[in-house]
Chain A
Amino acid sequence: MSLSTMLVQMGDGMLKSISIFIWTLVLSLPLGLIVSFGRMSKNRILRGIVTFYISVMRGTPLMLQLLVVYFGPYYLFQANIGAYRYTAIIFGFVVNYAAYFAEIFRSGIQSMPKGQYEAADVLGYSRSQAFMKIILPQVMKRILPPVTNETITLVKDTSLAYALAYSEMFSIAKQIAAAQTTFTPLIVAAVFYYIFNYVVAGIMSYIEKKLSYYR
């Protein structure tokens, strides 16, 4: 097999990896914000539930969570899960990453000095106005570095979808490696992931620079 056909096939897998990446990011960031509100809620029951959810998501391997999400409906309800593979992958990734993002959001929100809320109150801002217009934009700036960390980890974690036999890039690399009895596809995969992450890190640092307007 020539290198170019290998690249074409792995490029195909790359698209699937990218689609997992984008969907996870787009869904888990807002979900993470909501979860962080629950984590900081004054309602003790809600806070307890959310804290437990975060501790489970962070305390068990993502690969295991993916298997549970995919095969769970069959074992619990005898449901047919034939058409459910991709949804299960996205769902598994989103609930896992939302837990991590929630803690990042919480660290950002709680790092804002109380004086800002008081000043906003004096100026006649409502609580929600103060949060949306004053607090959240600052939080965004503060949490960018840890969010970048998680985002880069996510790129690499997409390879875990191979546990559900989804043919993203890593699965395809392994399959080509098996048929051609060589390790070359795995090296190509490493280069693909590295380029992907290089681009992601570049975009994130561009956003970070754009937002650092008071420095």
Chain B
Amino acid sequence: MKKKVFAVALSLIMVLALCTACGNSSSSGSSSGSSDSSAASDGGKSVADMTTFTVGFDAEYPPFGYKDDNGDYTGFDLELAQAVCDLEGWKLVKNPIDWDSKDMELNSGSIDCIWNGFTINGRENDYTWSVPYCDNSQVVVVPAGSDIKKLSDLKGKVVGVQTASAAYDVLTNKDQQKDLGDTFAQLQQFGDYNTAFTELQAGSIDALAIDVGVANYQIKQRGDGFVKLDEALNSEQYGVGFKKGNTALRDEINKDLKKLKEDGTVDKLAQKYDIADMICL
């Protein structure tokens, strides 16, 4: 008897769950309604009405955006964004995104800007850009003791890049280094640099094309196992990327960046993250 009760109770739970199913579908309806209020974070509304500032960033991109030892998202770019928010009285919302989906996230309005070591060069017409704030270059990292000493040694080698990264663009754009890229045995794309560096260490790729700031951080963290080639692939600049046409917000951020440069905040942060020689504001 007891067991029969148990079986009936189980069926009952299923039926009850049915009711929750209905209940929930209506609550999901209301949550899509409440998203109207956050529609305010779209490019269309006026900057004066803003209360929050949502920054999209790749949380696997130290030192510009990453998880610190306490589990909070931090990095040079995020602290700079925080400083901007302090000036404006906005609340900073740090929204980690999947780098492959950054355009969809930005266009759909779930983030206000992409601020994360975001290379301007080659993407000039795809976003509305802030002033460049950081000089960057794409460099090549090889394991210590590798026979690759200069860029031309990369011929016939397997080279890794991050998917949708500036390094990838440089090596596939015929106005830049496509000629060099074509000599590689393979251009292997990775989602994140942790995997890429492990593969480099394990010998399944020969070299890694990477932003210089990220390369310095990784080499510092990982010790002596890696070296940076002296020749850079190119030189380029970082900016904050806004949805195309969102010039109002862009102008506001530009103004704030200038102020933060003048009062020394930018240089202080740059020193903290060891990228002082890269700042170009």
Q: Does A136 interact with chain B (Cβ within 8 Å)? A: yes
Instruction: Write the A77-118 contact mask toward B (1 if CB under 8 angstroms, else 0).
Output: 001111111010011000000000000000000000000000
Contacts A174-B192, A178-B194, A183-B194 given: A71-B104 contact, CB under 8 Å? yes
Chain A nearest Cβ from B98, distance in angstroms: 5
Q: Chain B residues with Cβ under 8 A from A27's Cβ?
A: 17, 20-21, 24
Interface size range of chain A in the complex = 35 or more
Q: Chain B residues with Cβ under 8 A from A165's Cβ?
A: 95-98, 101, 105
Contact: B17 with A30, CB < 8 Å?
Answer: yes
Q: Chain B residues with Cβ under 8 A from A1's Cβ?
A: 69
Q: Does A8 interact with chain B (Cβ within 8 Å)? A: yes
Q: Does B152 interact with chain A (Cβ within 8 Å)? A: no
Contact: B11 with A132, CB < 8 Å?
Answer: yes
Q: Chain A residues with Cβ under 8 A from B110's Cβ?
A: 80-82, 84-85
Rounded to whole angstroms, the CA-CA distance of A33 and B198 in the bound complex is 46
Contact: B66 with A179, CB < 8 Å?
Answer: yes
Interface of chain B residues 221 through 250 with chain A (CB within 8 A): 221-222
Rounded to whole angstroms, the CA-CA distance of A26 and B6 in the bound complex is 18
Q: Does A152 interact with chain B (Cβ within 8 Å)? A: no
Chain A nearest Cβ from B9, distance in angstroms: 10
Interface of chain A residues 158 through 215 with chain B (CB within 8 A): 162-165, 167, 171-172, 174-183, 207, 210-211, 213
Interface size range of chain B in the complex = 35 or more
Contact: B3 with A31, CB < 8 Å?
Answer: no
Contact: A83 with B34, CB < 8 Å?
Answer: yes
Contact partner of B35 (CB less than 8 A), chosen from A9, A34, A81, A211, is: A81
Rounded to whole angstroms, the CA-CA distance of A196 and B32 in the bound complex is 32
Chain B nearest Cβ from A105, distance in angstroms: 10
Contact partner of B107 (CB less than 8 A), chosen from A26, A74, A85, is: A74
Instruction: Write the B68-95 contact mask toward A (1 if CB under 8 angstroms, else 0).
Output: 1111000000000000000000000001
Chain B nearest Cβ from A79, distance in angstroms: 8
Rounded to whole angstroms, the CA-CA distance of A31 and B18 in the bound complex is 7
Chain A nearest Cβ from B40, distance in angstroms: 9
Interface of chain B residues 1 through 58 with chain A (CB within 8 A): 3-4, 6-8, 10-11, 14-15, 17-18, 20-21, 24, 28, 31-32, 34-36, 38-39, 41-42, 54
A-B CB contact pairs (8 Å), 21 listed: A1-B69, A5-B71, A27-B17, A29-B17, A30-B14, A30-B21, A34-B18, A81-B35, A81-B108, A84-B110, A85-B110, A87-B28, A165-B96, A172-B67, A174-B60, A178-B192, A178-B193, A179-B62, A179-B66, A211-B7, A211-B10
Known: A80-B38, A178-B62, A178-B192. 11 other contacts (CB 8 A): A9-B67, A27-B17, A27-B21, A30-B21, A79-B35, A82-B108, A82-B110, A83-B31, A136-B11, A181-B218, A207-B10
B residues with CB within 8 A of A: 3-4, 6-8, 10-11, 14-15, 17-18, 20-21, 24, 28, 31-32, 34-36, 38-39, 41-42, 54, 59-62, 66-71, 95-98, 101, 104-105, 107-111, 192-194, 197-198, 218, 221-222
